[in-house]
Chain A
Amino acid sequence: AQKVTQAQTEISVVEKEDVTLDCVYETRDTTYYLFWYKQPPSGELVFLIRRNSFDEQNEISGRYSWNFQKSTSSFNFTITASQVVDSAVYFCALSEEGGMNAGGTSYGKLTFGQGTILTVHP
């Protein structure tokens, strides 16, 4: 069974601090996908990134960076020089390519972590 653990329930930082959100996953599949989503106070869920299990290259997008390490089953998310607008709930999620329904179609069961509430103070 797949599982995603975000051990940090809440993080509070002051603007311009760097912050890392941890994500640890469990899966038996060899091909899987990892995701991060952002849910700002307005409530919508915003897709941030997808990472494939066969690509451990880290990724940077502006102030955001992601560190994927298969050896430790972790997919951590770092925000550099945090801003108030980064305040949100962040979810890590996992899907397995091999996840099949009774009809034999991969439906991509997306397993979410419980989320980390990030508050950035001015």
Chain B
Amino acid sequence: DAGITQSPRHKVTETGTPVTLRCHQTENHRYMYWYRQDPGHGLRLIHYSYGVKDTDKGEVSDGYSVSRSKTEDFLLTLESATSSQTSVYFCAISQRGYYEQYFGPGTRLTVT
């Protein structure tokens, strides 16, 4: 199994508060991704990174920002959490941009 961890695994927060999710990999893969999974919507890409300090938006990036200061860490920040951001968040990594992605265990976020 690819070495990917996500923290925290579960979080409950209040509307309006900032939240940061962390993804950590030990595989030295260049590409990292953040997805959210919601019933009826499947997996949707939020942001991705193709190198240190190189990031770009996915299809549902509004209200989210990311940072990657080291190869192994990719942070997802909800600047001001809203109830619509209640979801399960998955981090993924890939050696090549178009090859398989390996997913972390997920973070269940509830915004009350």
Contact = CB atoms under 8 A, between A and B. Distances in A.
B54 A103 contact: yes
B46 to A, nearest CB: 13
Contacts, number: 67
Given A44-B105, A109-B45, A101 B99 contact: no
Interface string A24-38: 000000001101010
A47 B106 contact: no
Interface string B79-104: 00000000010101010111111110
B42 A33 contact: no
Interface-centre pick from A46, A91, A95 (highest chain B CB count, 10 A): A95
* Chain B interface main SS type: strand
* Chain A interface main SS type: loop
Interface in B43-67: 43, 45, 48, 50-51, 54, 56
Contacts of B50: 101, 103, 105, 107
Contacts of B90: 45
Interface residues on A, range: 20 to 34
A39 B58 CA distance: 22
